[in-house]
Structure 1
């Protein structure tokens, strides 16, 4: 089937973690709220029936922002930003702790609501999915509106959804009219709605790639679509240049992958700035541990255990390296995954700044089939605490 005949939706929950918290604390609606605090950020119920909330200015530590409300984002506070930096931008913002149990519960509710329409769903994480609507009767806008209404009825939350000919355009489109957006994109909309966007709005073009494009005079998707392929190849290599040319013109033939037996689960993050393996060790440690814990949470939530742990590093020169390690037993334990990922890390010379870090667990089996695998070994969570470790050269 040609991409023009397909109807692919991308559904993204609006400020998901923060929105779940606002259901619990409705008095915070309309305020700048940051999620990512620890126990000290738990609201205090006062005798007069009011609550005392922690403020971002009082935070001390090396944590990162999990998410923020749109009011906090307007002040420059975004997910994965260091808390101390966020505190300088929005010192009066309310700080709340994360509650992943609640987020997983609401994630299950919104996905169940969508499955009442179709099982053709690709799960992309706790707060977003792709949906193949090709075989669902009705106008795209009507179907999308009904899905949004079902999600709201099930959760009390809003989502933004875009229906487009492919996953690429659907992903971009779901951001265009947030929050509570409903967007329809066709190939005819590419020049007016996609080409004016900054190149970094395309999923897969990160901050560093956007900088390299800007250095050769390409800042928008439209300029990328008009760029000479030889110029792109000279700066990005043949494969990445070919991909850039395709996505700039809105072409993407990937299918919505509906699989009940995933082969792997992974989490990765691209840093706001390239991090030095030694100089930025505390930030790397925080992010590395967080990724391992998130993968472990994904495994447990979906009922799987894995035996092969892998890491992915992309350096400031765009060189990407992966390493894998097979464990002695299947696991969904975050500390065990962290230990295996650290062993993988030790096999990579860290001589350049790091722009992307990822953790993956593969060789999955259902947790119910784990049998008599030995219990996971609890390991201390650290990111090479020894200053003279050969991991950092």
Structure 2
């Protein structure tokens, strides 16, 4: 039996946001449930829940249960469009504080077993299991994956799917082969049978535009991509990307599992249910701005960072997006200080149209405990949208 020279796992939580909501509302298990938007207010105590058929707005689906996905709805789809496909699906608002809480729980449980962990977001991680499975056996990899699944379930009550392969690219592909609660172990010798029949767009790194271009060139599966002449790929996609496409289709990926990296920035943003007027809706905008700064300050405090560069992002009703930023003499992390600096950025933006999206960012990050006390900025107050 072929072994795995490296045992790299990709662990992906199953329908994560929706699954967290089902912990709160277990009576909805087995039903099509969509998470997204802000107006929906669950009435779990009375047994009454809003449905997609009643939604009016332009929100998008954050995630959906597998029962809802079977009806054709998916993450990123507009809620109004989803309502046409699944009008009876239950609609729940997103609760990101709860999702972050369960994210921390499952990652802590995994680290107890497999400390070589690369954090890839709120609901997925890579793990290097090579030291835990030194002979690279399938049986060893599957046994570790089963332990990880059980640890996650014990810590959170949630399920996850795990792919184990010789590298990160294949592991990510494999974690999606047998969802939900699946385990897939793939060695290099399995690539022709298990990987090549999959659509080329399933490779992480082939986006919609590249997938459409491949499709127009007659390449639909990973196997067809693997059989393509490397020079031909470079001719159509450029030297660097063409080489990467060839290697990816062959299952070649030498990237290590990166267990630690400093974040470059942290941000918070919100898309309004309706476009807000800079003057007529000043109070609502100011409250949202303040709330974003408070949430961002909490993120910084939790992760232990402060930052010197404060950025502002606005998207107007015509979808034009502008950004402004400024670099301060000292790093900050307090909500009021972030709000003041973001307010200064706001003064440099002509507010002539209604606002669709508002965001705040802190960059040039430094560990809070590495900043001398005399360099720490003092909190300040500022009136925004004045």
The answer to whether the superposition gives a TM-score over 0.5 is yes
The answer to whether the Cα contact below 8 Å between 2:40 and 2:91 also exists between their aligned partners in 1 is no
Match of 2:78 in 1: 82
Please state if 1:14 is matched with 2:18: no
Match of 1:33 in 2: 33
Match of 1:127 in 2: 123
Determine helix, strand or coil for the equivalent of 1:10.
strand
Match of 2:317 in 1: none
The answer to whether the Cα contact below 8 Å between 2:51 and 2:88 also exists between their aligned partners in 1 is yes
Q: Specify the structure having the higher radius of gyration (Cα).
A: 2
Match of 1:147 in 2: 148
Aligned-residue offset at 1:77: 1.3
Task: Give the Cα separation in 1 of the matches to 2:66 and 2:230.
Answer: 38
The answer to whether the Cα contact below 8 Å between 1:176 and 1:183 also exists between their aligned partners in 2 is yes
Determine helix, strand or coil for the equivalent of 1:52.
coil
Please state if 1:193 is matched with 2:189: no
- Aligned CA RMSD, in angstroms, stands at 3.5
The answer to whether the Cα contact below 8 Å between 2:119 and 2:126 also exists between their aligned partners in 1 is yes
The answer to whether the Cα contact below 8 Å between 1:265 and 1:299 also exists between their aligned partners in 2 is no
Deviations 1:244-303 (A, max 9, x none): 0110000000000011x51425799xxxxxxxxxxxxxxxxxxxx9xx99x947655533
Determine helix, strand or coil for the equivalent of 1:54.
coil
Determine helix, strand or coil for the equivalent of 1:45.
coil
Task: Give the Cα separation in 2 of the matches to 1:103 and 1:237.
Answer: 40
Match of 1:157 in 2: 158
Deviations 1:330-353 (A, max 9, x none): 45869869969x99xx9xxxxxxx
Higher mean displacement: 15-24 or 371-380: 371-380
2:50 equivalent among 44, 47, 54: 54
Match of 2:210 in 1: 209
Match of 1:171 in 2: 172
Match of 2:94 in 1: 98
Match of 1:114 in 2: 110
Aligned-residue offset at 1:88: 1.5
The answer to whether the Cα contact below 8 Å between 2:340 and 2:380 also exists between their aligned partners in 1 is no
The answer to whether the Cα contact below 8 Å between 1:174 and 1:182 also exists between their aligned partners in 2 is yes
Aligned-residue offset at 1:233: 1.6
The answer to whether the Cα contact below 8 Å between 2:61 and 2:79 also exists between their aligned partners in 1 is yes
Deviations 1:4-43 (A, max 9, x none): 5211100000000100110111110111101113253232
Higher mean displacement: 126-135 or 301-310: 301-310
Give 1:152-301 correspondences, 5 Å limit: 152-259=153-260, 262-265=262-265, 296=296, 299=300, 301=302
Give unpaired runs (5+ residues) of structure 1: 269-288, 312-322, 347-357, 382-393
Aligned residues: 328
Determine helix, strand or coil for the equivalent of 2:10.
strand
Aligned-residue offset at 1:380: 7.0
Q: 1:137 to 1:173 in 2, by over 3 A?
A: closer
Aligned-residue offset at 1:307: 3.5
Match of 1:354 in 2: none
Match of 1:280 in 2: none
The answer to whether the Cα contact below 8 Å between 2:340 and 2:382 also exists between their aligned partners in 1 is no
Task: Give the Cα separation in 2 of the matches to 1:154 and 1:215.
Answer: 46
Deviations 1:193-238 (A, max 9, x none): 1111101100010111100001111111111111112221222111
Aligned-residue offset at 1:306: 3.4
Match of 2:377 in 1: 373
Task: Give the Cα separation in 1 of the matches to 2:221 and 2:335.
Answer: 43
TM normalised by structure 1 equals: 0.74
TM normalised by structure 2 equals: 0.75
Task: Give the Cα separation in 2 of the matches to 1:19 and 1:219.
Answer: 32
Please state if 1:71 is matched with 2:72: no
The answer to whether the Cα contact below 8 Å between 2:326 and 2:341 also exists between their aligned partners in 1 is no
Task: Give the Cα separation in 2 of the matches to 1:188 and 1:378.
Answer: 62
Determine helix, strand or coil for the equivalent of 2:122.
coil
Give unpaired runs (5+ residues) of structure 2: 135-139, 269-288, 313-322, 350-358
Aligned-residue offset at 1:148: 0.7
Match of 2:327 in 1: 327
Deviations 1:122-177 (A, max 9, x none): 01111111011010147111111111111111111100001110000001100000
Task: Give the Cα separation in 2 of the matches to 1:239 and 1:258.
Answer: 26
